[in-house]
Amino acid sequence: MMQKIAKHRWFVLLFLALFACGEEAQQTQGGRAGRGGRGGRGGGAAAPVKVETVKQGDISAYILKNTTLEAERWVDVRARRAGQVISLLKEEGDPVREGTVMARLDADAAQISVAQREVAYLEAKQRYEREDALFQRNLGSKQSYENAKTQFESAKAQLEQAKLDLSYTAIRSPIEGIMTLRNIEVGNMVTNNQVVASVAKFDPLLARIQVTEKDFGKITVGQTARITVEAAPEKEFTGTVKMISPVVDPESGTVKVTVEIPRTDASLLRPGMFASVYIITETRINTLVIPKKALVLEGEGNQVFTFETDPESGRGQAQRKRIEIGFTDSDRLEILSGLSQGEQVITVGQEGLRPGSPVRLVGEAAPPAFAGRGGQGRQGRGQMGQGGQGRQGRGQMGEGGQGRAGRGQMSEGGQGRQGRGQMGEGGQGRAGRGQMGEGGQGRGFAGGEGQGRGRGQMGQGGQRGGDGQGRQGRGQMGQGGQGGQGRGFAGGQGGGDPTDRIKRIIERFPEVKAEYEKRVKDDPELATNMEKLRAFVTEMREKGLIPSRGGRGN
């Protein structure tokens, strides 16, 4: 009996010893640590923008057609006789009146012919007068009288023809207008009916357009039209519908409409110019309008960015709004819904923006970046220790979160997964991406210093044994803690060059790239100075070389 009791006692002691070892191991080795919470977003650098105010105005619906301007009349000037050019009296571009002499031909032969015809005319006239006197007194025959009369009339006609041929040695303009072309030089021989020049009547100019049957009923004679030309895109000219063709072209199904444009500015409008014709069909009075360049090209539906002021910080920020569009003209949009009068829409600098992005007006000083807040750490499965870092914000570091208690007895914990903020408290466990707490056993960070790459300032990371290479972090890194065994990596110093994104934008547009390379030669600082790069992109956007493109929201 005593032997059985002794045997059972050994079993109990052995069981208690094993239980104590297991409990001790449980105390020294924790479970996985929780992940640090996500930090708030920092302010970052404020992007320079230009804005315009939503206001009331008049806007019209119109039919837009492109065409080429034509002169009302355009004629070729032809030589009426052969001869050699002896003088030029007008040059291309000179105004001429109807009958103005533009060039002269050699007139010697014509003058001799006129002189000969005059002699023949005088002889025939004298004979006719003599025969007429005899016939009236019944002293001459009727036949002689008739012959003399015929010869006189023939000589008179030949003299008139000779004088006309002489007048043809002066080449005259058939209409009033502008000499647009000259095909001859002094000394050239010209033939009868040869084109020697062209003259056009520029005032008024005509724009002939083809309108579909659907739009035909919206146009009437006398209706107002607006015209723009590529040579002066900022200026508008006014015209009126002069004629509507009575027939429809069976092949194209269109109707020809002629618009008459008074030539009020002779230096800008000329025949042959490419023009856009806007025929107004309806006008809305005192409606909300914004510049067309405020419209964002990306995303679903029509969107704009507005300039708002943060009530807490007083800094500017961009907010994206969906809008409903009514009428549009060459540079404005009618707003049916989505905006109110007095709001400010961003017209330059929208590229890369997203809701909440910090912005400032061009010319204002850039405000300092502001901090975001850290998040709350997640529960670890081990004993509670010092926790992990909250996720970094895009500015200064936020505050870290608190890890929740795990199961088991209390000991020093490992690193929670990286956040974007400062260090919170977590449990033991595997490595996080941020600053390190004090770790115990398990897969936590080891203490020590290591280097790594990131986008923030360099902090102290963990090492495994000696100094180890850490992997990339995204923000400013805090100090690492100490730990036991496990994988450690260091937070490192950030360095992703923020000018790279702007340079990639520049590379996409050949004209912008050429201008950038030219300016860098004169000002090498442009290649590295963020403010100068942003100002350069804004300037290219204003010139229309870089289109406005909205960013994506969160």
Q: What confidence tens digit (pLDDT) does each residue in 318-377 have?
A: 999 999 999 888 789 999 999 999 999 999 988 888 898 999 998 776 665 444 443 443
User: What's the CA gap between 327 and 244, in Å, rounded?
Assistant: 25
* 160 & 295 share domain: no
Q: For residue 509, give both structure tokens.
A: 């547009």
Contacts of 9 (CB under 8 A, 6+ apart): none
Q: What is the pLDDT of residue 498?
A: 65
- Asked whether residue 447 is assigned to any structural domain, the reply reads yes
pLDDT of residue 276: 93
* Last residue in a domain, options 324, 344, 370: 370
Quickly tell me which residue has 């002689």 as its tokens.
144
Asked if the model's pLDDT at residue 179 lies above 70, the reply is: yes
- 95 by Cβ neighbours in 10 Å (0-12 / 13-18 / 19+) ranks as middle
Establish if 206 belongs to a structural domain. yes
Average pLDDT, integer, range 471-482: 36
Top mean pLDDT of 177-191, 225-239, 476-490 is at 177-191
Measured CA to CA in angstroms, residue 409 lies from 34, 190, 205, 382 at distances of 16, 117, 95, 8
332 and 244 inside one domain: yes
> Pick from 370, 402, 433: which residue ends a domain?
370
Contacts of 83 (CB under 8 A, 6+ apart): 105, 106, 107, 109, 169, 189, 190
Residue 509 lies inside a defined structural domain of this protein: yes
Residue ranges making up the domain that contains 526: 499-542
CB proximity list for 334: less than 8 A, separation 6 or greater: 59, 284, 287, 288, 289, 325, 326, 327, 328
- Domain closes at, from 140, 165, 190: 165
- The yes-or-no verdict on residue 378 having pLDDT over 60 is no
Are 257 and 274 part of one and the same domain? yes
Mean per-residue pLDDT, 303-318: 90
Pair 515, 487 in one domain: no
Check residue 299 and report its DSSP letter: S
Residue length of the chain: 554
Alpha-carbon 344 to chain mean position = 20
Most confident of the following: 182-196, 368-382, 412-426, 486-500: 182-196
Task: Evaluate if residue 172 carries a pLDDT over 90.
Answer: yes
304 has pLDDT over 60: yes
Residues 298 and 220 in one domain: yes
Task: Please check whether residues 359 and 406 belong to one and the same domain.
Answer: no
Contact 7, 360 (CB under 8 A): no
Residue 240 has pLDDT above 90, yes or no: yes
Confidence of residue 399 (pLDDT cuts 50, 70, 90): very low
Which CATH number covers residue 210? Answer: 2.40.30.170
Q: Are residues 307 and 393 in the same domain?
A: no
Q: In terms of domains, do 448 and 529 share one?
A: no
Q: Do residue 143 and residue 115 come from a single domain?
A: yes
293-to-206, 219, 337, 545 alpha-carbon distances in Å: 31, 29, 18, 13
Q: Which of 33-42, 74-83, 276-285, 528-537 has the lowest mean pLDDT?
A: 33-42
Same domain, 468 and 506: no
pLDDT of 12 over the 60 cut: no
Count the domains in the chain. 4
What's at 299, amino acid-wise? G
Same domain, 275 and 291: yes
Which tokens hold the place of 471? 């992997």
Q: Do 307 and 350 share a domain, yes or no?
A: yes
Q: What is the pLDDT of residues 244-279, one digit of tens each?
A: 999 999 999 999 999 999 887 767 888 889 999 999
Is the preceding omega at residue 358 within 30 degrees of 0, hence cis?
no
Q: Which of 94, 97, 72 is nearest to 204 (CA)?
A: 72
Residue 439's pLDDT band (cuts 50, 70, 90): very low
